[in-house]
Amino acid sequence: MFEEKIDYWHNPILPDMELSHARFQHFEFDQHVHLDYHIGVVTQGGQQYNHKGEKYRLNKGFISTLNPDESHNGHSINNEAYQAFVMSIPIDYANQIANELNLKELFFAKPLNHEPDIYNHFLKLHNMLTQAQTRQNLLQIETTLMAFCTELFMRFGVSNLCNASPNLSQENLLNIKARFHDEMGNSFQLEQLASSIGLSKFQFLRQFKATTGMTPHAYLKRVRLEYAKKALAKGSNMADIAHKVGFFDQSHFNKAFKNAYLITPSHFQKQIK
């Protein structure tokens, strides 16, 4: 028998954010509003909802973007089962994004968008935020969340520009990169990195990615793997390498290495000898 249920999570990265995963068929949401921005996708079936007098269908590959205090309902399409993933973005967090990007205010222009890349990014982020985490991957979680939310509002939002924001200088960029190379075994915090060069974490993340094409976490991870590769080629012990370059344990190191190079560290070391 199909079980209709919904599970909820909170993440310490952003305690006021609510995450949920639901499986529905006959359950219907009455007309209601939310206090936060609500972002949702379905991975199976579809949901239909009314919003400002219009009917919308949320199917796979689409993303629902609802502003606070916008009335809507929700039910399955053709009474078929559907599976949904939802994330709320607190207003305070959205206001921080607006302020740090020098935007006056943020709101979504429409409640439904067909963007497969954003859809896939959302599902990966939702999974990341609802899994067990350690201090070692806080930088990854925070940068992924911030990058997604910023991209979401910039792509689907409506706003007005304020004054120009401070820039990430070439000197500061080189200093940050040098720290990643020299201290790759350390656990970095986004806010600490940003404040060290006089930027907010929002400004730093956006400008670092615009300049390098990568988030700070992605850049640091690749640096760690490149140094690990050189150490493996010299015959160093894998457990020692994983610890030295900053991976939480050998399992995380093995997974990251294979995702990057399509080969496990042990097989790479055997081939390179």
- pLDDT digit string, tens, across residues 235-268: 888 899 999 998 888 888 999 888 888 888 998 8
Contacts of 178 (CB under 8 A, 6+ apart): none
Residue 181 pLDDT > 70: yes
The residue type found at 266 is S
Query: Which pLDDT band holds residue 46 (cuts at 50, 70, 90)?
Result: very high
Please state, in angstroms and as integers, the Cα–Cα distance from residue 162 to each residue in 98, 100, 102, 193, 203, following that order: 10, 10, 5, 25, 14
81 SS3 class:
coil
Cα end-to-end span (Å), the chain: 56
In this predicted structure, the answer to whether residue 48 has a pLDDT above a threshold of 90 is yes
- From the list 28, 22, 29, 25, the residue with the least C-alpha distance to 7 is 22
Q: Quick one: average pLDDT of 43-65?
A: 93
Has residue 227 got a pLDDT over 80?
Answer: yes
Residue 219 has pLDDT above 60, yes or no: yes
Q: Is 1 exposed, middle or buried (0-12, 13-18, 19+ CB in 10 A)?
A: exposed
* pLDDT for the residue 272: 65
Neighbours of 123 (CB within 10 A): 14
More confident residue, 53 or 144: 144
More confident call, 37 vs 161: 37
The angle at the Cα of 142, spanning 140 to 147, to the nearest 5 degrees, equals: 95
Distance of alpha carbon 241 from alpha carbon 239, whole angstroms: 5
pLDDT in tens, 118-143: 999 999 999 999 987 655 578 888 88
Q: How far apart, in whole angstroms, are the C-alpha atoms of residue 49 and residue 239?
A: 52
**Cα–Cα dist 150/99, whole Å:** 12
In 3-state terms, what secondary structure has residue 24?
strand
Mean pLDDT of the chain: 86
Task: Inform me whether the pLDDT recorded for 183 exceeds 50.
Answer: yes
| Residue-level pLDDT at 273 | 62
Where would I find the H helices in the chain? 91-100, 116-129, 138-156, 170-182, 190-195, 201-212, 216-233, 238-244, 250-261, 265-272
CA 73/CA 29 separation, integer angstroms:
5
Residue 163 has pLDDT above 70, yes or no: no
Task: Return the pLDDT at 234.
Answer: 86
State which amino acid sits at residue 149.
C
- pTM of the full structure: 0.69
The pLDDT, as a whole number, for residue 8 is 87
* Integer angstrom CA distances of residue 217 from 129, 147, 180: 16, 11, 10
**pLDDT at 269 exceeding the cut of 90:** no
Q: Is the pLDDT of residue 31 over 80?
A: no
